[in-house]
Amino acid sequence: MPTAIPTDKAYAWEQDAHDNLAPLRGEFVVDDPNLIYLDGNSLGRLCLRTANRTREVVEREWGQRLIRAWNEGWFDLPARIGAKIAQLIGAGAEEVVVADSTSVSLFKLAVAALDVQANRPTILTDDLNFPSDLYVLQGAADHLGNAQQVRILPSSDGIHGPSDALMAAIDENTALVALSLTTFKSAFTYDMAAITRKAHEHGALVLWDLSHAAGVLSLDLNAAGADLAVGCTYKYLNGGPGAPAFLFVRRGLQGKLRNPIPGWFGQHKPFDFDLVYRPAIGIGRFLTGTPPILSLAAMEPGIDLLLEARIDAVRAKSLQQTEYLISLWEQILAPLGFTLNSPRNGALRGSHVSLGHEDGLRIDRALIEEMQVLPDFRYPDNIRLGIAPLYTSFADIWEAVDRLRLVVTQRLFEKYPAKPPAVT
């Protein structure tokens, strides 16, 4: 383990000086250089190009071109941006489309999958999954008359997903396996290829939520034989608050699945205004209504930046930075009562590191209020430190650890109540 990594500030600066991706930080709005932003896993920073693109789409395309803009690029935007995201996740250009929120996209694909697996009674997931995903899965089962039941397999330590138990549970009764590839609290990351292979051996489908993986892991959905996936674009893709999600359906499955919310944008020819719904051929059938054009336009520059950086280089830097953070935790923060609530093994870890502490919530408050550090907090005691390699520097990580150390050694957290604010 990297216990030998030096803990001095000069080492962090040296790493930044040798980092090929470091110049990309200049592509982002960094309004306050003293603010350490470690929440790019919840809301990515604003790209400078996005600010320009947003102005252009509002002032020129909407303001001047008006309705004509639909034929000058807007209509194709969900598929065109989907094709770019496809390059980031190892999918074919015609397998990805961007339209609704992650939750809505998940509902559509879960119902579509459960519908074609109606003779199989079980939906498998885990208790590290994002609760909203569990609500959606339950809602999908309810929608189909509750012939299928959600079975939530427990993690043994709250950090690692129950991979072995899942593999053992997949059988002829399994309709669907639905998991977050990278889990939101600990960043534990499943082996997509292994689970998909096992599911396919038994005729089950797999639906991945890539929200904490897309834009920061080297994904290859096609190589893994993945069936279905959804993912968030306002986290590591820097798409902006509420940016719509992407959904992926393997080409061979597209013609077999029905969109449970059929609407005119998923119709074969929307502008024929046919009274009978005929689904579009291909991924377009999973669209429903008019897509959010302003948000779609705003997400493109962030995706372009990731494509320019190359996702393998982004993953390599992310791993190096989470290793660095864990090494600083071990040497500086563990003696102060912090626990590591993320996998130690880099191959099992996404791009954030969760640190636990019995006064975690109050420490989090003190970091935000007094230390100019923005992490986020997830119950019961996780301070999540998100690494977004396009703009997180090694110096940011060093500073964050140093300020965490100060909050505890100077007991700055003691004046904060243990009661949470509305959004953590």
Ligand X SMILES: *Cc1c(COP(=O)(O)O)cnc(C)c1O
Which residues within the stretch 346-385 sit at the binding site for ligand X (CB under 6 A)?
Answer: none
Residues 6+ apart with CB under 8 A from 331: 3, 7
Identified catalytic residue from 185, 235, 315, 403: 235
Is residue 45 near ligand X by the rule CB under 6 A?
no
Query: Can you tell me the distance from the alpha carbon of 141 to that of 260, in angstroms, rounded to the nearest whole number?
Result: 13
Smallest separation (angstroms) from ligand X to the CB of 139: 13
Interface region with ligand X, contact rule CB under 6 A, candidates 56-64, 152-160, 205-213, 394-402: 205-213
In the complex, the smallest distance separating the C-beta of residue 262 from ligand X, rounded to whole angstroms, is 20
| Residue 15 CB neighbour total at 10 angstroms | 20
Question: Contact at 8 Å (CB) between 299 and 232?
Answer: no
Catalytic residue at 234?
A: yes
- To ligand X, the closest distance from the beta carbon of 228 in angstroms equals 14
Smallest separation, CB 303 to ligand X (Å): 16
Residue from the set 108, 198, 212, 357 that interacts with ligand X by CB under 6 A: 212
Closer residue to ligand X (CB): 364 or 376: 376
- Position 102 contacts ligand X (CB under 6 A): yes
Instruction: Tell me if 246 contacts ligand X by CB under 6 A.
Output: no
Nearer of residues 286 and 394 to ligand X, judged by Cβ: 286
Binding of residue 424 to ligand X (CB under 6 A): no
Give 209 or 402: the residue with its C-beta nearer to ligand X. Answer: 209
Sign for the CA dihedral angle at 63, 55, 89, 165 comes to negative
Contacts with ligand X: how many residues (CB under 6 A)? 13
Which CB atom, from 246 or from 398, has the smaller least distance to ligand X? 246
Q: Toward ligand X, which CB reaches closer, 181 or 366?
A: 181
Point out which span in 63-71, 86-94, 100-108, 284-292 binds ligand X (CB under 6 A).
100-108
Is 277 an active-site residue?
A: no
Q: Of residues 87, 132, 138, 339, which one binds ligand X by CB under 6 A?
A: 132
Instruction: Give the residues across from 149 on adjacent strands.
Output: 122
Cβ burial, residue 242 (10 Å; 0-12/13-18/19+): exposed
Q: Which of 234, 236, 265, 338 is catalytic?
A: 234
Q: Is 316 helix (H, G, I), strand (E, B) or coil?
A: helix
| 273 counts as catalytic | no
> 374: which 2 tokens?
């923005």
- Tell me which residue of 355, 362, 357, 374 sits closest to 411, measured CA to CA: 362
Question: CB neighbours of 122 closer than 8 A, spacing ≥ 6?
Answer: 148, 149, 151, 169, 173, 174, 175
> What is the residue whose two structure tokens read 């689970």?
195
Q: Which of 19, 133, 209, 396 is catalytic?
A: 209
The token duo for 355 is 């640190």
Alpha-carbon gap, residue 353 to 277, rounded angstroms? 47
What is the DSSP-derived secondary structure letter of residue 249?
E
Q: Alpha helices of 202-348 — where are they, by DSSP H?
A: 221-224, 251-254, 293-309, 311-328
Nearer Cβ to ligand X, position 244 or 279? 244
- Measured from the CB atom, the residue of 348 and 408 that comes closer to ligand X is 348
* 45 versus 403: smaller Cβ distance to ligand X: 45
Task: List the structure tokens of 387.
Answer: 């690494």
Is 211 a binding residue for ligand X by CB under 6 A? The answer is yes
Q: Other C-beta atoms within 10 Å of 241: how many?
A: 10
Which of 50, 125, 174, 180 forms a contact with ligand X (CB under 6 A)?
180
Q: Does 39 bind ligand X (CB under 6 A)?
A: no
Binding of residue 107 to ligand X (CB under 6 A)? no
Contact present, 347 and 163 (Cβ < 8 Å): no
- Tell me the sheet residues that pair with 267: 279
Annotated catalytic, 80? no
Catalytic residue among 37, 107, 130, 184: 130
198 is catalytic: no
Task: Select from 25-33, 96-104, 351-359, 390-398 the region that touches ligand X (CB under 6 A).
Answer: 96-104
Please tell me the distance from the alpha carbon of residue 258 to that of residue 238, in angstroms, as a whole number.
30
- Sequence-distant (6+) residues with CB within 8 A of 95 are 86, 221, 248, 249, 250, 251, 254, 283
DSSP one-letter code for 188: B
**54 lines the binding site for ligand X (CB under 6 A):** no
Q: Residue 57 corresponds to which tokens in the numbers above?
A: 């789409």
Which residues contact ligand X by CB under 6 A? 101-103, 130, 132-133, 180, 184, 209, 211-212, 232, 245
The residues annotated with a catalytic role in the active site are: 130, 209, 234-235, 384
